[in-house]
Amino acid sequence: MSMPSRRNPVRRASRLRLPIAALVSAALLVTGTAQPAYAEPADAAPAAAIPNDDVVIESRLRNLLHPMLTVAQDTQVRALVRNAVSRQFDGDTNALLSTVVSEAEESFIVDPNAPEWVALKNGIAQFQNINGYAYEPQIYIPNQDEGVIPQDNVVMAVAPADEQAISTTGYTLDPNGQIRELDTPVTEAYAETYELWVLSVNEQIDTGGDTVVTTTQVADAEQAAGSDDARKEGGDAGVMAVCNPTGLRNNRGHEYLRQFRVPDPGSFGGLFEGKLEMKVIVIGSGGAIIRSAYFGKIKKKHLRNWQYPDLFLTSWDRAQLGDVWGYLWYEADGGSTISVTLNIKVIGSVTVSWQKRDDSAGDAPVWFTESTYQQYDTGSVEFTVCSTGGDGGTGYDNFARTGIASASSTYPGYSPARVNDGSTNTGLGGEHSWANDWGTYPPNNPEWVQVDFGVDKTFRRVVVYTSQGYPIRDFDVQVWNGVTFVTVASVTNNTSLSVTLTFSARTARLVRILGRSGPTHQPGYVRVNELEVYAV
C-alpha cells in the first residue's frame, strides 16, 4: 500500500472554521446536486432572504437588555441569578432565563405583573420559534467560578452573531432607568476582572447516539504522559506505556482515541461563546460510522492543553473496516438537526447528522499501517491514537511482525531486527540474519534472541528460519511467564533451514529462541534469519 506523506507535527496548517452554510454548499458540490434555475417574471420582486439563526438570536437578545437590566436593579434578583449561574446546570456558569423567572416568582421576590417583568417574559417567549427551532435564552457570567467580584450596577452584554468577535459593547442602566453604553468595549480581559452578564442562548446539544465522555484537563502534556497520577486520571487504556510499544497495530486490535487538544480555541468563538463542546465522528473506509463522541463543556484555556479521553473506538478489523479511518471534528453549538454530506479526506463523500449552528473543525485520515506515535492535525484539532492487543486475522497472522526484537549479544552487522522483518530469506550474512557476538559462545553459555509483542498473545506454533551452510543446531523455544522464561519446545541436531514447532497453547508477551549450539563446524555462533509466531 502506498503511504501518505508524513505531516510535520510542529507545523500546523492554518486554522479554518466553516459555518454550516458553507458546509451545505460544499455538500452540494460533493454530491453534484445542482440548484434548479427558475425564470422569474420581469416584474417579480425578489424573495426576501431569511436571516440565519445567529442574526435573529442577536436581535431578540437585544430586546431583553432593558427589561433584564431593570429587574437586575433588585438585590434579591441579582442574588437569585448568581446562585442559579453558580449551579452550572449544564457544566458552564450560566442559567436559563426561564429558570430565573420561575424561581423568582415562586420566591415571591418580584411582581409577576410589573411591566418590566412582563416585558422580560414576553421577550423570552420570542425564542420559541426562530426559523422553526426553539432556543433557550440564558445569562452567562464568564469566570464566575474563578472569583470575579459581583457588582451592584450590573454590566450586561449581548453575545454577537459573529462568534469570532473578541469584544462587544457593555451596557448599564443609568439613574433615570435608561440604557447607557460603557465608554470602552468589554473584552476577555475585562471579564477576567469584573463581573459581566452575557445574554446568549443555551447550546442545546443533541448527543443522540454519541458516546458522552468526561475528559480530564491536564495542564502539562509531558507531565501527563509520564505521571502515574495522570495515567490514573486519564485512564490506563490509552496511555502509550500499555499500548503496543512498537507503535504498530495488530489486526483486530483495540483502537483508542488517546488525546486531543485545540491549540487555537479562539477560532471557535471569543469570550461570549463560553465553554467549548467538541465532538468527533470516526468513519470507516466504507463510509460506516464507527463511533461518534461528545466531550462536554471544556474551558477554552484548558482545551489548549491535552485532554485525555482514552476513548475506546472499536476493534480494527481490516476486513470489515478497511485500512483507513477518517476523524471528523467539530464544535457543537446546537440548533436544529440536519443531514450534511461532506467530503472527508481519503474516505470520500459521507452523510452525517449535524446541528445547524455547529462549526467544522476539519478532518484527518488515520491509516492502519501508520505508527500510533504519530500526531495528527485537522487544522483546528490535534490528536493521537493508541492500539492494544489484536489477534492477527486478516492482517499480520504472524505475531512477531509487530513486536520488538532484542538479543543477549549481537555480532556487528547482524541486527536482532532481522528476525522479524518479514523476510524468510535463509541466505548467509548480516542482511538476512541475527548472530551472537564473539567472546561468549554456546554451548557453555547459550545466546538468545527474543521478540516482545508489547501485550500478551496466545499462540501454539513457531517457525524458525536459519542460515544456509550454518544452520542453528540445538535450540529451545521459551516463553515468559511473568517470572522467568520456560521452555515449551526443544530441537537437537537440526540441519534444516526452517523448523516448525507446535505445543500446547501459551499466553505470553515474549518469545525467545535460546541457542545452545551453532552448526558442528562453528558451534560458537547461532544464527536466526526469521522467527514467526502463530495462534494456530
For residues 351 and 363, what is the distance between their CA atoms, to the nearest angstrom? 14
Strands 253-261 and 382-388, how do they pair?
antiparallel
Residue at which a domain ends, from 325, 353, 388:
388
Are residue 271 and residue 132 in the same domain, yes or no? no
- The whole-number pLDDT of residue 487 equals 97
Are residue 228 and residue 171 in the same domain, yes or no? no
Are residue 345 and residue 232 in the same domain, yes or no? yes
Q: What is the pTM of this model?
A: 0.58
What is the number of structural domains in the chain? 3
Please give the C-alpha separations between residue 529 and each of 430, 469, 535, in angstroms, as whole numbers: 9, 13, 21
CATH code for position 423: 2.60.120.260
Are residue 373 and residue 227 in the same domain, yes or no? yes
Are residue 366 and residue 410 in the same domain, yes or no? no
Nine-digit cell string for 233 = 486520571
- The whole-number pLDDT of residue 49 equals 52
Domain membership flag for residue 8: no
Domain membership flag for residue 32: no
For residues 187 and 155, what is the distance between their CA atoms, to the nearest angstrom? 12
Please give the C-alpha separations between residue 100 and each of 97, 124, 249, in angstroms, as whole numbers: 5, 11, 53
- The whole-number pLDDT of residue 325 equals 96
Nine-digit cell string for 91 = 457544566
DSSP assignments along 339-372, one per residue: EEEEEETTTEEEEEEEETT-EEEEEEEEETTS-T
Are residue 180 and residue 218 in the same domain, yes or no? no
Are residue 141 and residue 221 in the same domain, yes or no? no
Domain membership flag for residue 313: yes
Are residue 193 and residue 210 in the same domain, yes or no? no
- The whole-number pLDDT of residue 132 equals 87
Residue at which a domain ends, from 201, 217, 250:
201
Domain membership flag for residue 12: no
Domain membership flag for residue 244: yes
Structural domain boundaries enclosing 473? 399-534
Spell out the per-residue pLDDT of the chain, length 536, in tens. 333 333 333 233 333 344 444 444 333 333 333 333 323 333 444 444 556 888 999 999 999 999 999 999 999 999 999 999 999 887 789 899 999 999 999 999 999 999 999 999 999 999 999 988 899 999 999 888 888 888 889 999 998 888 778 889 999 999 999 999 999 999 888 988 899 999 999 877 666 667 777 544 333 333 333 333 333 333 333 444 457 767 888 788 889 999 999 999 878 866 677 788 899 999 998 888 999 998 888 888 888 999 998 888 998 988 889 999 999 998 888 777 878 888 899 999 988 887 777 888 999 999 998 998 999 999 999 999 998 877 644 345 788 988 899 999 999 999 999 999 989 999 999 999 999 998 877 878 899 999 998 888 889 999 999 999 999 999 999 999 989 999 999 999 999 999 999 999 999 999 999 999 999 999 999 999 999 999 87
Is residue 274 within 8 A of residue 157, CB to CB? The reply is no
- The whole-number pLDDT of residue 51 equals 67
Residue at which a domain ends, from 325, 354, 388:
388
Are residue 359 and residue 460 in the same domain, yes or no? no
Domain membership flag for residue 187: yes
Domain membership flag for residue 10: no
- The whole-number pLDDT of residue 328 equals 95
Are residue 347 and residue 406 in the same domain, yes or no? no
Are residue 337 and residue 475 in the same domain, yes or no? no
Is residue 497 within 8 A of residue 426, CB to CB? The reply is yes
Are residue 319 and residue 452 in the same domain, yes or no? no
Show the DSSP H helices in 346-492 as ranges. none
Domain membership flag for residue 22: no
Neighbouring CB atoms inside 10 A of 368's CB total 21
